[in-house]
Amino acid sequence: MQKYREIGLKLTPQRLAILEYLDGNTSHPSAEDIYREVKKRFPTMSFATVYNTLEVLRKRGNLLELTIDPERKRYDPNTSPHHHLICLRCKKIVDVHVDYRIDLPQKERESFEVFGNHIEFYGICNNCKQKGGVMNGSV
């Protein structure tokens, strides 16, 4: 999120607020997280603005849309290659900054143009584990 150097983008206060909220944010917020936060400063803020802005940032390559949480999309302003660890209970997501080198077999590389990969580690975070509960298929 190169601070405020948003060449080619109209810099509105709402967008700035979203950018500031995202800048350095490692909580992998959902659209609603962002909406709730920014709405504090701009009470008329609408969901459409959040989604529009996120889409614009994604198209510019400044934001990753994560498909890890089965309930909602999560967003990551850190666009450098990295992986994620998610808690199956509370859906907390943390970064995994390790450069695993992973190659695809020739067969798949022939039938796809592969752009990259992303590893999703899954488990239960300490916080949820201490809260207890059964550990069957229901997680």
Q: Which does 53 bind (CB under 5 to 8 A by kind): its own copies, DNA, none?
A: DNA
Q: Is residue 120 involved in binding DNA (CB under 7 A)?
A: no
Q: Please pick, from the candidates 19, 21, 28, 30, the single residue that binds DNA as defined by CB under 7 A.
A: 30
Q: Return the structure tokens found at 103.
A: 């190659």
Report the nearest approach of its own copies to the CB of residue 117 (Å).
5
User: In the bound complex, what is the minimum distance in angstroms from residue 84's beta carbon to its own copies?
Assistant: 10
What one-character-per-residue DSSP string does 27-91 give?
A: S--BHHHHHHHHHHH-TT--HHHHHHHHHHHHHTTS-EEE--STTS-EEES--SS-EEEEETTT-
Whose structure tokens read 């614009």? 56
Nearest approach, Cβ of 33 to its own copies (angstroms)? 17
| Helix axes 47-59 and 13-22, enclosed angle (nearest 10) | 70
Which of 94, 85, 83 lies closest to 118 in space, CA to CA? 83
Q: Does 53 bind DNA (CB under 7 A)?
A: yes
Question: What does the binding site for its own copies look like in residue numbers (CB under 8 A)?
Answer: 58-61, 65, 67-70, 73, 85, 87-88, 94, 96, 98, 100, 102, 104-105, 108, 111-126, 129, 136-138
Q: Does 94 bind DNA (CB under 7 A)?
A: no
Structure tokens at 11: 């810099």
Note the residues at the interface with DNA (CB under 7 A): 9-15, 30-32, 42, 44-49, 51-53, 55-56, 71-73
